[in-house]
């Protein structure tokens, strides 16, 4: 069964942003018409910011069956051995923090089948903090990779983010780098891997969803 995300390739500007961009451009256009360019410049800057926020460039992931690819653009804020609260196991967790200038599309870190999805309501504290992984609103996907490894990919809302969007559910197949969701306005994505996975990214690294290798699976 084809995943819903496969029906949405990459239109350069994310569909989630079209209403916001339309409203911003319309407001700037009206201000220009009635008040002139001098008064409308701030509104055009807002429209430009919204346009860059919702950009959604196509990505081609590197080859390698055991490679785990970044699910989002941003910076690595955590690489640690910890407990996976969804699959209840010891795991390697890598966390990517997205600020408002990063691409906010979320992409599958591995080739595999979605076994289950969990949504949890929560707070909206700064997503750069570790406690956001368990305290904030979040949506988790359990993906069984083609090689058999279990991967948990968690979308975490942030201080400003108020909407997590996920377009896949249990039973759907995801290709590595395939778009499966979006988080609006600053957030975090956690990836829990088997404890024996080998990290390839370090805290502070800048990563790109669908492109950067985060880790390598052993089994």
Q: Comparing 125 with 59, which gets the higher pLDDT?
A: 59
**Residue 132 confidence (pLDDT) above 60:** no
Nearest to 206 by CA among 108, 132, 96, 110: 96
Angstrom distance (rounded) from CA 162 to CA 50: 16
Nearest to 49 by CA among 30, 28, 35: 28
Q: Which residues contact 158 (CB under 8 A, 6 or more apart)?
A: 98, 124, 126, 127, 132, 136, 183, 185, 186, 187, 188
Angle at 104 between CA 112 and CA 94, to 5 degrees: 55
Which residues share a beta bridge with 119? Answer: 139
**Residue 148 confidence (pLDDT) above 60:** yes
Is 85 inside a domain boundary? yes
Parent domain of 45:
12-56
Q: Which residues contact 213 (CB under 8 A, 6 or more apart)?
A: 62, 64, 67, 68, 69, 70, 200, 201
Angstrom distance (rounded) from CA 197 to CA 204: 19
Q: What is the overall mean pLDDT for the chain? A: 87
Question: Mean pLDDT across the stretch 4-13?
Answer: 59
Is 67 inside a domain boundary? yes
Give the tokens for residue 116. Answer: 């289950």
**Residue 149 confidence (pLDDT) above 70:** yes
pLDDT at site 82: 95
Q: Comparing 183 with 199, which gets the higher pLDDT?
A: 199
Active-site positions read 187
**Is 85 in the same domain as 19?**
no
**Is 27 in the same domain as 127?**
no
Q: Which class for 13: exposed (0-12), middle (13-18), buried (19 or more C-beta within 10 A)?
A: middle
Length of the chain: 219
Is 162 inside a domain boundary? yes
**Is 51 in the same domain as 154?**
no
Angstrom distance (rounded) from CA 105 to CA 183: 7
Please give the DSSP secondary-structure letter assigned to residue 59: -
Q: How many CA atoms lie within 13 A of 54 on its CB side?
A: 18
**Residue 126 confidence (pLDDT) above 60:** no
- Kindly report, residue by residue over 68-115, the tens digit of the pLDDT: 999 999 999 999 999 999 999 999 999 999 988 898 899 999 999 999
Nearest to 197 by CA among 115, 93, 114: 93
Question: Mean pLDDT across the stretch 125-148?
Answer: 76
pTM of structure = 0.85
Considering its fold, how many domains does the chain have in total?
2
**Is 48 in the same domain as 17?**
yes
**Is 164 in the same domain as 181?**
yes
pLDDT at site 157: 81
pLDDT at site 5: 42
Share of the chain above pLDDT 70, in %: 86
CB 77 within 8 A of CB 124: no
**Residue 7 confidence (pLDDT) above 60:** no
**Is 20 in the same domain as 105?**
no
Measured CA distances, 211 to 64, 109, 154, 158, 207 (Å):
12, 10, 18, 23, 8
pLDDT at site 164: 85
């Amino acid at each position: 069964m084809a995943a819903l995300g496969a029906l949405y390739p990459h239109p350069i500007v994310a569909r989630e942003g079209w209403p916001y961009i339309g409203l911003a451009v319309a407001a700037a256009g009206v201000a220009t018409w009635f008040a002139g360019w001098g008064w409308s410049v701030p509104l055009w800057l807002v429209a430009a910011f919204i346009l860059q926020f919702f950009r959604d460039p196509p990505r081609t992931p590197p080859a390698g069956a055991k490679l785990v690819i970044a699910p989002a653009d941003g910076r690595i804020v955590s690489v640690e051995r910890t407990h996976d609260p969804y699959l209840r196991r010891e795991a390697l967790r890598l966390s990517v923090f997205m600020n408002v200038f990063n691409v906010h599309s979320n992409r599958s870190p591995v080739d595999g089948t979605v076994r289950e999805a969990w949504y949890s309501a929560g707070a909206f504290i700064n997503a750069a903090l570790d406690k956001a992984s368990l305290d904030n609103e979040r949506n988790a996907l359990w993906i069984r990779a083609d090689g058999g490894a279990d991967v948990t990919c968690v979308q975490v809302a942030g201080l400003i983010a108020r909407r997590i969007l996920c377009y896949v559910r249990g039973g759907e197949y995801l290709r590595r780098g395939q778009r499966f969701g979006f988080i609006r306005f600053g957030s975090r994505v956690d990836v829990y891997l088997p404890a024996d996975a080998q990290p390839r990214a370090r805290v502070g690294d800048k990563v790109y969803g669908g492109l950067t290798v985060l880790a390598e699976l052993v089994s």
